[in-house]
Structure 1
Amino acid sequence: MVIKAHEADRDRLLYGCMALGGGWDTQPYGPGDIDAAEAAIEAALDSGITGFDHADIYRHGKAEGVFGEVLSRTPGLRERITLQTKCGIRLAEGDRPGIYDLRGPTIVRRVEESLSRLRADVIDVLLLHRPDPLADPAEVAEALTSLRRQGLVREFGVSNMSGAQIALLQSHLEFPLIANQLEMSLDRRDWLEDGVLVNTPAAAQSGFPTGAIEYCLTRGVRLQAWGALAQGRFTGRQESEREHATARLIAKLAGEKGTTPETILLWWLRRHPAGIVPVVGSGRPERIRACADAARREPELSHEEWYELWLTARGVPLP
């Protein structure tokens, strides 16, 4: 089955597999970890989510490993899903700190290792996880082109990159980069604030790369939002009064619209004209299922409701 870029775009949500595979250590996963992964995958599929997001570093590779175990014992599952993974980060090891590595041979080797763990023949979408300042864009492009020609990866994108960084890499490629995955949520709003703080003193405080959203919008690069549920800050882990006020508003809107607070959070992202695809990263099946309406229904937030959520989470008026 060939997954084309426009077909991958049909995903309204992605399931982020970071929570699968046991602890963040090098201890082997066990049968219980495989069963937990299977339960999470089933919850995602039951909720209408068919896109699965990995990275080679998640749980030191164990997230891909347990996912591959589930794929191997579930005939036909691979044909029902879109499989995405990332490479480019090397975790700390012993006295050596974690670094970024987008050298061409490293990219190819990491993809081959991911395919082995996932027990798959092809990755639908490969994202470059973080910008590597030492990366040669021509060498990176050569590695991606080789992976595509070999049929090991179908489509490519990036993660945590600015519009200028994407443009530089794209200038060396003959095929389009289709995705940029960024941290985006009602709590992490710098991607949104950057666009309204122009010509204000507060603009200097934003670390978000100006123009990244606009670049992606004008070139058809699909925005994916990691951290979309804001680590539970508005659905059970509130600390500040601002977070409590936002949680109350979210619960009120959920009650009025017959859905869950998690769906309201994801609808808020999906309501943006950039066509944002939230990544749901919980390992708990009940929390995954709480996101089902966000996958199955178009956002039911009015212009005013969307702004009310933003301003309540913001805590201060717009400039």
Structure 2
Amino acid sequence: MKQLKLGTSSLEVPNIGLGCMRIKDLSKTEAEKVIRNAMDAGINFFDHADIYADENVQADTVFAEAAGMNDDLREKMIIQTKCGIRSRSFDFSKEHIIESVEQSLKRLQTDYIDVLLLHRPDALVEPEEVAEAFNELEESGKVKHFGVSNQNPMQIELLKKHVKQDLIANQLQFSIMHSGMIDAGLNVNMKNTPSISHDDSILDYSRLHDMTIQAWSPFQYGMMEGVFVDNDKFPELNKQLREIGDRYNITPSAAAVAWILRHPAGIQTIAGTMNTERLTGIAKASDVMLTRQEWYDIYLAAGNELP
């Protein structure tokens, strides 16, 4: 499994991580199998969030109990979690950030979080409070590194004005069928729909500031409307993914991940499958380097046009 440096930190992570939202739906035995399979494939990066839960089940609780968390195992894992989303609001207050981390530590049965992300922008954010929370969590050793999720450059700059820690990652929805940050960059000075930027050049900003983008929902189209791989709605795209998959002896899902990994920004893909066979197949994308033309062929097969 290829490694990449997460942002400006010294933290080396696999270029494919496992998103653990759906692990809450598994039995302890099933979850244990998923975790072991991921580790065997070289995926030791596990992405959580405090809101990954059903009424009575927290995903990170299931994860820790299934893993049989202990000090030796913990040292082999890189655990990331997110906070800031509440039932009917967003909350970046110092009190909420610290309380969320405390509860996550208990559920994960660990003394520290490797990476903490602020989950979605809080319109009422007071960056001074965020800075106080980050300082307290870092000084206590409870959080090693910090970042954000679903934020644009100016929101990040506002935080950076006050927090002393580097913001090393930004987790964003990104896939071949959710490629707005690519589309706007290609259609500069055009009046067509792809020229509309919803992200304020977040891709280029991230590269300029050595901030790792983490791609969530790498197989979804729309706003999580469904999976595009092996979906009859997208015949040309799936034909292209199968052809490239056959060329490299990987699955179509792995080809979709290889498309993300080919970008020179060094994007980390967060795969959320709980299917061990599928995850093993996806992991093979880690070592695949698509050609420039193959990357563009997939992009065009997804229905995109070049100006």
Give the TM-score normalised by structure 2.
Answer: 0.91
Q: What is the match of residue 191 of structure 2?
A: 201
Cα distance in 1, alignment partners of residues 10 and 273 from structure 2: 25
CA distance in 2, matches of 1:164, 1:67: 35
* 1:46-195 matched pairs, under 5 angstroms: 46-60=40-54, 62-72=58-68, 76-91=72-87, 98-195=88-185
Structure 2 CA distance for aligned equivalents of residues 43 and 201 of structure 1: 47
CA distance in 2: counterparts of 1:129 and 1:182, whole angstroms: 10
Question: What secondary structure is seen at the aligned counterpart in 2 of 1:291?
Answer: helix
Q: Quick one: distance in 2 between partners of 1:287 and 1:53?
A: 18
- The separation in 2 between residues aligned to 1:283 and 1:233, in whole angstroms, is 14
1:53–1:85 contact (8 Å) kept in structure 2: yes
Aligned to 1:318: 306
Question: Which 5+ residue runs of structure 2 have no aligned equivalent?
Answer: none
Percent identity (aligned): 37
Distance 2:266 2:144 in 1: 22
Q: Is the 8 A contact 1:21 1:34 kept in 2?
A: no
Query: What secondary structure sits across from 1:164 in the alignment?
Result: helix
C-alpha displacement of 1:317: 2.4
Q: Give the Å deviation of 1:215.
A: 1.4
The alpha carbon displacement at 1:246 in A equals 0.6
Of 34, 39, 64, the residue aligned with 1:45 is 39
The amino acid across from 2:91 in the alignment is D
- For residue 24 of structure 2, what is the aligned residue in structure 1? 21
What SS is found at the alignment partner of 2:27?
Answer: helix
| Matched AA of 1:184 | F
Measure, in 1, the Cα distance between the counterparts of 2:118 and 2:59: 18
Q: How many angstroms apart in 1 are the aligned matches of 2:304 and 2:18?
A: 32
Shift of residue 72 of structure 1? Answer: 3.1
Task: Give the direction of change, closer, same or farther, for the CA distance of 1:316–1:263 in structure 2 (3 Å limit).
Answer: closer
Match of 1:308 in 2: 297
Any conservation in 1 of the 2:250–2:285 contact (CA below 8 Å)? Answer: no
Which secondary structure state, in structure 1, belongs to the residue aligned with residue 289 of structure 2? coil
Shift of 1:8: 2.8
Paired with 1:207 and 1:17, the residues of 2 have a C-alpha distance of 30
CA, structure 1 residues 204+267, in 2 after alignment: closer, same or farther (shift >3 Å)? closer
Task: Give 3-state SS (helix, strand or coil) of 1:216's partner.
Answer: helix
Q: Distance in 2 between matches of 1:317 and 1:35?
A: 46
Secondary structure of the structure 2 residue equivalent to 1:76: helix
Alignment coverage as a number of residue pairs: 296
Task: State the distance in 1 between where 2:66 and 2:12 align.
Answer: 25
Deviation per residue, 1:102-129 (Å, 9 max, x gap): 1110000000000000001000000000
Distance 1:190 1:204 in 2: 7
The answer to whether residue 245 in structure 2 is matched with residue 245 in structure 1 is no
Q: Deviations over 1:126-177 (max 9, x none)?
A: 0000000001011111111110011100000000000111111011122211
| Contact in 1 for aligned 2:35/2:67 (Cα 8 Å) | no
Residue 215 (structure 1) aligned with residue 209 (structure 2): no
Distance 1:181 1:131, change over 3 A: same
* Structure 2 CA distance for aligned equivalents of residues 204 and 42 of structure 1: 41
Contact 1:86/1:127 (<8 A) preserved: yes
Q: CA deviation at 1:203?
A: 4.9
1:128–1:245 distance in 2 versus 1, CA, 3 Å: same
Computed over aligned residues only, the root mean square deviation of the Cα atoms, in angstroms, reads: 1.9
Structure 1 residue runs of 5 or longer lacking an equivalent are 23-31, 92-97
Equivalent position amino acid for 1:317 in 2: E
- 1:11 paired with 2:5, answer no
**Alignment-mate amino acid for residue 157 of structure 2:** A
Q: Deviations over 1:3-46 (max 9, x none)?
A: 99644343211100011112xxxxxxxxx622221111112112
SS of the residue 1:20 aligns to? helix
Residues 62-88 of structure 1, C-alpha deviation per residue, up to 9 Å, x if partnerless?
Answer: 111011113435662211110000000
For residues 238-297 of structure 1, what are the alpha-carbon distances to aligned partners after superposition, in whole Å with 9 as ceiling and x for unaligned?
142xx11111111111111112212111110011111000000011111111112123x1
TM-score by length of 1: 0.88
